[in-house]
Amino acid sequence: MIDLHKKNMQDNIEIETAFVEKVPNGTDTSVLKAKENNAKKFLCASLAVIVAFVGIVCGLVNKRNENIIAQQKIEKIENKQNAVNVVAPVTPDATKTVGAQAPANSTKPESTTKAPNTPKVAKPGTMDKPTTIKIDKDKWYLTLVNAGYRIPSSYEPDLVYVCNSGQRLDRRVAAAYEKMYNAALKDGATLTPCSGYRSYERQEKNYNRKVDFYKGQGYSEQEAKKEAATRIMPPGSSEHNLGYAMDIVCADSWFKDTKEFKWLMENAQDYGFILRYPEDKQKITGVIYEPWHWRYVGVETAKQLKESGLVLEEYLGVAK
């Protein structure tokens, strides 16, 4: 093989030499070289364009596949919900349900909901002009709050203390939390309530402090508000203001390495709780990965979200 290779190399050298020798007298060889270099440059540029084009096409195909997968997940949920409808008789009152939330000043919310049985949800607002919501009595547990959807400052949940701790939750959520707490305890995991309900005023204070911190770092007002909201939700947009969520054990990233976190990942959906801000959904939720933050959405929805891997925004069809 090596000999053959050497021979090929020699042949190439000979061919090249022959080419140079056959140049007619008087022809400037530097002109030929320049032409050759230009041809090479053109070839390289062409290759670069082709590679870039292939890259763009692959990117588009990947994006399309992601959309298809997300759509399939939603369709799967729709099919399940339709199957439930067949066996569950629909009462006349149930058909009047307008959803978990509607704009506070409107009785006819615009809907972008995809799954038929999920409540109609108003269009999301922005950081500066959030949509103010009111909570539906029937599907209260699906109430979506984030930077674009906020409850009014006047909202007052019915609160009770949880598991003999100093933390409070919405009475209905507290009952589910106690059930989950006791089940985990039997398995050797202690789901200590760390931070439950927070008042609108307290949220406002915490959030403003964070905004000031980022402004001190040189951020503009707008940027500071946006950055702060990835860590501390603006007042009215936190699930802690609703009394639907509990920070369990602590509010620190090491929680993900505990047996309590492992237990929650395996069992929380059976008690109606979800990991609200997963690591791979930060672009959709707008919030950093929070392994300690567990939100109540009801057992049926929690199981569907767990199975599909969707977050609440996707489930309700308002993911940006």
List contacts with Zn ion (CB under 5 A).
247, 293
Q: Which of residues 119 and 291 has its CB atom nearest to Zn ion in the complex?
A: 291
Q: Which of residues 168 and 293 has its CB atom nearest to Zn ion in the complex?
A: 293
Least Cβ distance, residue 225 to Zn ion (angstroms) = 19
Q: Which of residues 122 and 274 has its CB atom nearest to Zn ion in the complex?
A: 274
Cβ neighbours of residue 89 closer than 8 Å, sequence gap 6 or more? none
Least Cβ distance, residue 277 to Zn ion (angstroms) = 8
Question: Residue 127 has which token pair?
Answer: 């950081």
* Separation CA 128–CA 144 (nearest Å): 18
Q: Which of residues 247 and 314 has its CB atom nearest to Zn ion in the complex?
A: 247
Least Cβ distance, residue 59 to Zn ion (angstroms) = 35
Catalytic residue numbers read 290
Least Cβ distance, residue 56 to Zn ion (angstroms) = 40
CA 169 to chain centre: 25
Question: Residue 152 has which token pair?
Answer: 């009014």
Cα dist from 113 to 99, 146, 170, 196, whole Å: 10, 16, 26, 29
Instruction: Give me the amino acid identity at 4.
Output: L
Q: Which of residues 120 and 240 has its CB atom nearest to Zn ion in the complex?
A: 240
* Separation CA 106–CA 199 (nearest Å): 26
Question: Residue 242 has which token pair?
Answer: 């609703």
Least Cβ distance, residue 116 to Zn ion (angstroms) = 31
Three-state secondary structure string covering 88-108: CCCCCCHHHCCCCEEECCCCC
**Please, which residues bridge with residue 298 across strands?**
none
- 129 three-state secondary structure: coil
H/E segment holding residue 23: none
* Separation CA 236–CA 152 (nearest Å): 6
* Separation CA 226–CA 132 (nearest Å): 18
